[in-house]
Structure 1
Amino acid sequence: MGKTAFISFVFFTVIAAVISYFKSRKSQNKTTTGFFLGNRSNGFIIIGASLFFSNISANQFIGENESVYINNMSVIGWGISSVLAMVVVSEFFIPIYLKTGIRTIPDFLEKRYDKGTKTLVSLVFLFSYIINLLPTVLYGGAVAFGGLLNLSGNLHISYWASIWLLVWVMGLIGSLYTILGGLKTITISDTVLSTGMLVLMIAIPYFGLRYLGNDDFMVGLKTVLSSKKEHLNAIGSENDAVPFATLFTGMFIINLYYWGMEQYIVQQVLAGKSLKDSQKGIALAGFAKLLCPLLINVPGLIAVHLYPSLTNTTEVFPLLIKDVLPPILTGLAACMLFGAAITTFNAGLNSSSTLFTLNLYKPFVEKRRGIVLTERSLLRTGRLFQISVSLFAMLFAPFIVFSQGGFYEYLQKISAIFSLPIFTIIFLGFFTKKMPPAAAKIGVVFFISCYVLSQFIFKSHLHYLHCLALIFLVTSILMLIIGRFFPLKKAYELKMENMVDVKPWKERYFYNGLLIVLMVLVFALFSKVGIA
């Protein structure tokens, strides 16, 4: 990164920080609701932008472009097919959450099952964030940012040392940001950075194709469309990274979980000032997801032609950015990568602290000591927990470099250990009335055990997404059997404890239908019917 690019990076980063500070400085962070949920005051633009930017971490920039480079466009299945899941979540899941007035997903499980289930799932969430989410977003950010800076070359240090340095820089800045600002500052920052992301969605494909065509955009476009066309296909076969059939099995389940039950994502929606704003925010994020291939997949297509024999494929995206963008836009891209890593880290850190403080620490201490903890005491504990978790993530993150296979596949495979058991018990909790708490607890343990055995002990030949769907079905049957023979004496009833207006968005059917049509068209474009 040259001098102009570096100045540009500093400029855009400072601008984003200053705007975030001034827009959020009046927010009340002296209560748990203010610190963890932004006082439930966010409108649909902030909700949509925070959902979008919290979802698009440096992991996607690195992992998905790497997957396109190694395989083909089948990896877009994760992002594009998630639009359908977002529509389902907006229509069915979010109304339930807002009507019950919950602050965390385990809060719903306490209402539906019991406190033991809430505690168990809170622990599963925490393990997921501490072991998987937080370290991987720091690692992905370090790889992307390190590639742009050429840190190892400029400082004459090893690649391994450069990863360590950047992980700690990002972790310390992100921790400070979260601990001082709370959720409101995070969501404002996401909104500001999403504007820069939209600029890059246009700039990177344009300058990349122009560079490929020796300063002629149309020549570059023709090259991508006419040669190595196997990389253009998003309809994956069984031998591809994402077989198309998995979109209808395990992937759909994971996307439903992610957008409707993942704490650090749902927390952005729970901060909405009304159900209408939350539903509009999800739709806005859905439209942004449909544009994402321009940023997290198309660069990989261009790189196939520019760098046919890369050895370290995780450097596909940063290498392309460094070579094709003008210095000012290179600085903006660096700002976006830096921000993407930090904001996802921040969202996960905030949610981890929320889960620990409100779902584990508060009930345990108040029951044991027989006292009611003050808001000040809870906030102090939450911030101390954030510091501890941050330090662990920064220590663990650099070792991900030794993971086998593609980084994105590693990320998805590990996260499924924690996500799908939670999805199973919440999903059945939505649609059954007499499912007992014991069924939920047995279901979580059974699911995790079966998945770990199938993927890491006995190595099933079935694609892991199909395995997930199969284990989901078996676990559901097991839980239904338990519910049949040991039902609750009194059926569960949804109790209205809403903190915001729960009147739904009237125009949602039109916009949700449009989202689904556009989703199908994107798949058609990147298929043998379209440009592949």
Structure 2
Amino acid sequence: MNLTAVSSFLLFMFLVAFISFIKSSRSRKATTTDFFFANRTNGYLVIGSSLFFSNISSNQFIGENESVYINNMSVIGWGATSVFAMLIVSEYFIPIYLKSGIMTTPDFLEKRYDKSTKVLVSVVFLFSYIINLLPAVLYGGAIAFSSMFNVPAFLGISYWESIWLLVFIVGIIGSLYSIIGGFKAITISDTVLSTCMFILALIIPYYGLRYLGDGSIHLGLETLLSSKKTHLNAIGSETDAVPFSTIFTGMLIVNLYYWGMEQYIVQQAIAGKSLKDSQKGIALACLAKLLCPLLINIPGLIAVHMYPSLTNTAEVFPLLVKDVLPAFLVGLTASVLLGAAITTYNAGLNSSSTLFVLNLYKPYLQKKTNGEVSERRLLRAGKLFQICISLFAMLFAPFIIFSQNGFYNYLQKVGSIFTIPIFTIIFIGFITRRVPAIAAKVGMIFFITCYVLSQFIFPVKLHFLHVLAIIFVITALLMIAIGSAAPMKTPYTLKLDNKVDIIPWKNRHYYSFILLILMVLIYVIFSPAVLAK
């Protein structure tokens, strides 16, 4: 373990924490709105940074580079095509949320269907975070840190033991951030870390190509582009991790859910001080997502040439960073990786607590006491809940090492058990006015049952994203059929209850067009027509 790398890592982590807590200490955290939504005072720069960095965790660094190393660039579909979904969310979903004044995604379901649907979906959300999101973030951060600093050799422990140790370190730091600093501290640290990430997006390819070319960037780039060109192809075949056809089926659905309904993501956007700021923030995050391949995928391409055969392919990114970067930059990269894990973990904890306190605990207390519940009691319950689920996540995370077919594939496949059923019933709620609450409940149970059977009990020989799309269509038709047979007596109408200005961003369509052109251009560049020729 290099002393310079460790010193730069500790210094940068201290600076991020210091800036976050100094800035967040100036904001009030006396109410749930203060603690969970930064009192709705975030501008577009903070929203864009928070959206981007809450999405980018060590899972992407580890999982996507592993996929590039094993397969090809087809994995960029998750990030590049998310731009299209994000723009749809910006234009249609966020205005609905802000106009209705909701604080959590299930709040919309209460307005559209009924309270029991809201409770059901809140519970499913919590299962998703506790079983999939939080443990996976801890595991990804632990792998990156263990490999980058060679923790097992330094401490004289096994790799398995190092994962346990680092999972608890990341979990404890993340918990302290969220519990003490609240949502404001999370968004501020996201902004600082996003700046550093863009610096690394240029630095890591530079040093990697220079290393590959024995000191010459030109020779390194020539090697990258002239041999093993199949890895440069983003147009995935049916046997690749992400077949190209899936971006038009299940991947679109997953991205729409993630950016438009995932609580810890939506919470970043609806914490804005206006609809205009939320839409500008989403556009900024879109641009950042299009730049992601520089940092998240190019290192995997370089690693293909540096390491002909690796036993543990999850170590691709941290191993490359350790081998090509100067020691002080290894420390900076480690701090950004750990920061990425911590901030996504923070966001997940904060949103889990938001769902529990506002959608489950507060209604329970109000029913029990027949009156108002003090904000202080709710905040205390929220912090205690964060401690409990954080402990569970830390105990569960190390066992992800036994997952098959790659870490990133595990994340997407398991996460879909919970996420797409939620997307289905919210989407039907958006586009229909008479589909009743019973249809939402039946649809939720039907979707989860069919998906689990098709993926884990009686595996279907079809990519899971295509399966998702098929079950989504069948479930949607089932809900509409129930709505036709037993429609709501009074059709749903959106009632304005906005807490912020809801005037949309005037120039959003021009920027959306540019972003979509850039998205297509990325696919053209990483295709058999250009780089993979």
- 1:226-284: per-residue Cα shift (whole Å, max 9, x none)? 00000000000001000000000000000000000000000000100000000000000
Alpha-carbon distance in structure 1 between the residues aligned to 2:52 and 2:134 = 18
Equivalent position amino acid for 2:119 in 1 = T
Residue 303 of structure 1: aligned partner: 303
* Aligned twin of 1:274: 274
Structure 1 stretch 360-369 or stretch 274-283: which is displaced more? 360-369
Alignment partner of 1:99 is 2:125: no
Matched, 1:262 2:262: yes
- Do residues 289 (structure 1) and 327 (structure 2) align? no
The corresponding residue for 1:416 is: 416
| Residue aligning to 1:340 | 340
Large movers: runs of 4+ above 4 Å: none
Q: Cα RMSD over matched residues?
A: 0.6
After TM superposition, give the deviation of residue 329 of structure 1 in Å: 1.1
Counterpart amino acid of residue 439 in structure 1: A
1:242 has 2:242 as partner: yes
State how far apart, in whole Å, the 2-side matches of 1:363 and 1:77 are: 40
The CA distance in 2 between the partners of 1:426 and 1:482, in whole Å, is 16
After superposition, give the CA deviation of every residue in 1:118-139 in whole Å (9 maximum; x if it has no partner). Answer: 0000000000000000000000
- 1:308 and 1:294 map into 2 onto residues whose CA distance is 22
**Distance (Å, rounded) in 1 between the aligned partners of 2:367 and 2:245:** 49
Matches within 5 A, 1:78-477: 78-477=78-477
CA distance in 2, matches of 1:77, 1:172: 33
SS in 2 for 1:62: helix
Inter-partner Cα distance in structure 1 for 2:335 and 2:360:
36
Aligned to 1:526: 526
Matched to 2:262, the amino acid is E
SS in 2 for 1:450: helix
Give how far 1:365 is off: 2.1
Unaligned runs of 5+ in 2: none
Please tell me the residue identity of whatever aligns with 2:310. L
CA distance in 2, matches of 1:118, 1:54: 24
The Cα offsets for residues 120-173 of structure 1, whole Å up to 9 and x where unpaired, read as 000000000000000000000000011111000111100000000000011011
The amino acid that maps onto 1:350 is N
Aligned-partner residue type, residue 475 of structure 1: T
TM-score between the two structures when normalised by the length of structure 2: 0.99
Q: Distance in 2 between matches of 1:371 and 1:508?
A: 44
Which amino acid in structure 2 is aligned with residue 521 of structure 1? L
- 1:419-469 alpha-carbon deviations (Å, 9 max, x no partner): 100000101101100010000010000000000000000000011000000
Supply the distance in 1 between the matched residues of 2:393 and 2:123 (Cα, whole angstroms).
Answer: 17
Q: For residues 282 and 468 of structure 1, what CA distance do their matches in structure 2 show?
A: 26
Aligned mates of 1:461, 1:376 — CA distance in 2: 52
Q: How does 1:505-520 map to 2 (within 5 A)?
A: 505-520=505-520
Q: CA deviation at 1:10?
A: 1.1
**1:197-234 deviation line (CA, Å, top 9, x unaligned):** 00010000010010000011010100010000000000
1:51-70 alignment to 2 at 5 Å? 51-70=51-70
Secondary structure at 1:292 match in 2: helix
Residues 6-52 of structure 1 show CA distances to partners (whole Å, capped at 9, x for unaligned) of 11111111111111112211111110000001100000000000000
Are 1:501 and 2:501 counterparts? yes
Quote the Cα distance in structure 1 between the aligned partners of 2:136 and 2:129: 10
- Structure 1 gaps, min length 5: none
State the distance in 1 between where 2:20 and 2:378 align.
25
TM-score (norm 1): 0.99
- Mapped to 1, the partners of 2:182 and 2:453 lie a distance apart of 39
Aligned twin of 2:481: 481
The one-letter code sitting in structure 2 at the alignment partner of 1:16 is V
- SS of equivalent to 1:121: helix
Amino acid at match of 1:46: V
2:49 is matched with which residue? 49
Distance 2:22 2:390 in 1: 25
- Paired position in structure 1 for 2:39: 39
Amino acid at match of 1:524: V
State the alpha-carbon separation in 2 of the partners of residues 27 and 340 from structure 1: 23
Number of equivalences = 532
Deviation at 1:371, TM superposition (A): 3.2
CA distance in structure 2 between the partners assigned to 1:152 and 1:366 by the alignment: 51
Counterparts of 1:425 and 1:189, CA distance in 2 = 34
Aligned mates of 2:92, 2:388 — CA distance in 1: 36
1:77 is aligned to 77
Matched residue type, 1:127: F
Quote the residue 1:23 is aligned against: 23
Deviation string 1:75-129 (CA, Å, 9 cap, x unpaired) is: 0000000000000000000000000000000000000000000000000000000
Distance in 2, Cα, partners of 1:164 & 1:220: 37
Query: AA paired with 1:48?
Result: G
Q: CA deviation at 1:368?
A: 2.7
Find the aligned partners of 2:170 and 2:409 in 1 and give their Cα distance: 23
Q: Which moved more, 1:103-112 or 1:12-21?
A: 12-21
- Rounded to whole Å, the distance in 2 between the matches of 1:364 and 1:446 is 28
Separation in structure 1 between the aligned mates of residue 384 and residue 372 of structure 2, nearest angstrom: 19
| Counterpart residue type for residue 247 of structure 2 | L
- Same amino acid, percent of matched pairs: 68
Alpha-carbon distance in structure 2 between the residues aligned to 1:508 and 1:215? 44
Letter of the structure 1 residue corresponding to residue 411 of structure 2: L
2: CA distance, partners of 1:42 / 1:287: 19
Aligned amino acid, residue 364 of structure 2:
F
Cα separation, 1, equivalents of 2:117 and 2:524: 43
Letter of the structure 2 residue corresponding to residue 522 of structure 1: I
- Report the Cα offset of residue 369 of structure 1: 3.1
Give the partner amino acid of 1:123.
V
Q: Which amino acid aligns with 1:506?
A: K
